[in-house]
Amino acid sequence: MLSKENTVIGFIGTGVMGKSMAGHLLDAGYQLTVYTRTKDKAADLLDKGAVWSESPRDVAQKADVVFTIVGYPSDVKEVYLGENGLIAHAKPGSYLIDMTTSTPSLAKEIYEKAKEKEVHSIDAPVSGGDIGAREARLAIMAGGDDEAFLKVEPLLNILGTNIVHQGQAGAGQHTKMCNQIAIASNMIGVCEAIIYAENSGLDPETVLKSISTGAAGSWSLSNLAPRMIDGNFEPGFYIKHFIKDMKIALDEAKRMDMQVPGLSLALSLYEQIAEKGEENSGTQALYKYWKQS
Backbone dihedral angles phi then psi of residue 233, each to the nearest 5 degrees: -115, 20
- DSSP class of 278: I
- The Cα diameter of the chain in Å comes to 63
What lies within 8 Å, CB to CB, of 215 at 6+ separation is none
176 has catalytic annotation: yes
Size (the chain), residues: 293
> H or E stretch including 179?
helix 171-199
CA distance 281 to 273: 10
Separation between Cα atoms, residue 194 and residue 20, nearest integer Å: 30
How far are the Cα atoms of 206, 217, 218, 226 from residue 222, in angstroms, in the given order? 12, 7, 6, 7
Task: Give which of 172, 174, 116, 167 is closest to 145, Cα–Cα.
Answer: 167
- Report CA torsion sign: 138, 139, 143, 148: positive
Sign of CA dihedral 230, 236, 237, 240: positive
Catalytically annotated residue among 39, 176, 244, 288:
176
CA distance 77 to 87: 10
Q: Output phi, psi for 55, to 5 deg.
A: -170, 165
Where in the sequence numbering do the catalytic residues fall?
176
